[in-house]
């Protein structure tokens, strides 16, 4: 029987080891590597070519969302399951938009975790009805402003509003339940789409275009 090859990624040693022990008990699983941050996850994916990556979200150096995006760009055949807490819905939505196959709560029972991994390995996805509803809400046309000639996403416009309010990156991250690294990625994308170099210029351009009110 060909085993499902798994790379586990989590910055907390206890969780990393616990997952390793629990999943090693499954006869059809092979734990081929452990990683403690997003950069290690990318390197491990290149080196070991796992079938499944169990990806933590909040990690130092590079978070799980950024790592998911990079892995999916470079190694699209690898399937990624996000490991999350109840408070990290926005992260999950972003990760799913980058190609993750689903998410599982860290508090899940071992047998349910194993079952979820098998579902994804056979081509399924792991998205709850609640999460699906939030995804649909995020992509509905009504969620976008009337004037959006620069192609900003609903989330980027949300970040832009926070920028215009004078919030620091750390404050924006806390307000939107994102990591600071993810916020920086959004801001870079906003500046690129608007063809600006700073928040003042971005705010002015957005208001001039009717994307944001005065």
pLDDT digit string, tens, across residues 20-42: 999 999 999 999 999 999 999 99
Question: What's residue 10's pLDDT?
Answer: 95
Average pLDDT score, the chain? 86
Is residue 131 exposed (0-12), middle (13-18) or buried (19+ Cβ within 10 Å)?
Answer: middle
Residue 46 in contact with residue 19, Cβ under 8 Å? Answer: no
Which residues, including other chains, have CB under 8 Å from residue 209's CB and lie 6 or more apart? 147, 149, 150
Residue 53: strand, helix, or coil: strand
pLDDT range class, residue 142, cuts 50, 70, 90:
very low
Question: What's residue 73's pLDDT?
Answer: 92
* Domains of the chain and CATH, by start: 4-135 (3.40.50.2300), 141-208 (1.10.10.10)
Angle at 176 between CA 37 and CA 53, to 5 degrees: 30
Query: What is the C-alpha separation between 76 and 87, in angstroms, rounded?
Result: 27
Which of 109-118, 143-152, 187-196 has the lowest average pLDDT? 143-152
Query: What is the C-alpha separation between 18 and 34, in angstroms, rounded?
Result: 12
CA distances from 41 to 49, 94, 110 (A): 11, 18, 22
Q: Among candidates 84, 45, 49, which has minimal Cα distance to 67?
A: 45
Is residue 59 exposed (0-12), middle (13-18) or buried (19+ Cβ within 10 Å)?
Answer: buried
Which residues, including other chains, have CB under 8 Å from residue 189's CB and lie 6 or more apart? 156
Residue 16 in contact with residue 34, Cβ under 8 Å? Answer: yes
Q: Among candidates 193, 197, 198, which has minimal Cα distance to 209?
A: 193
pLDDT digit string, tens, across residues 65-113: 899 999 999 999 999 999 887 666 667 777 888 889 988 888 888 999 9
| pTM (two decimals) | 0.64
Which of 80-84, 143-147, 148-152 has the lowest average pLDDT? 143-147
Query: What is the C-alpha separation between 97 and 91, in angstroms, rounded?
Result: 10
């Amino acid at each position: 029987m060909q085993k499902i090859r798994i790379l586990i990624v989590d910055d907390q040693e206890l969780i990393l080891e616990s997952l390793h022990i629990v999943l090693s008990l499954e006869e059809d699983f092979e734990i081929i590597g452990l990683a403690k941050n997003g950069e290690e996850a990318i390197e491990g994916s290149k080196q070991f070519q796992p079938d499944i990556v169990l990806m933590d979200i909040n990690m130092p150096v590079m978070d799980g969302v950024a790592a998911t995006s990079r892995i999916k760009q470079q190694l699209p055949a690898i399937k990624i399951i996000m490991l999350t807490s109840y408070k990290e819905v926005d992260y999950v939505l972003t990760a799913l938009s980058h190609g993750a196959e689903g998410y599982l709560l860290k508090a899940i029972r071992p047998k349910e975790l194993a079952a979820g991994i098998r579902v994804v390995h056979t081509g399924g996805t792991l998205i709850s009805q609640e999460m699906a509803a939030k995804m649909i809400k995020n992509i509905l046309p009504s969620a976008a402003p009337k004037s959006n000639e620069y192609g900003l996403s609903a989330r980027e416009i949300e970040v832009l509003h926070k920028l215009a309010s004078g919030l620091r990156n750390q404050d924006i991250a806390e307000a939107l339940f994102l990591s600071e690294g993810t916020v920086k990625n959004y801001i870079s994308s906003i500046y690129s789409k608007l063809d600006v170099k700073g928040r003042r210029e971005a705010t002015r351009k957005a208001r001039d275009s009717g994307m944001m009110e005065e």
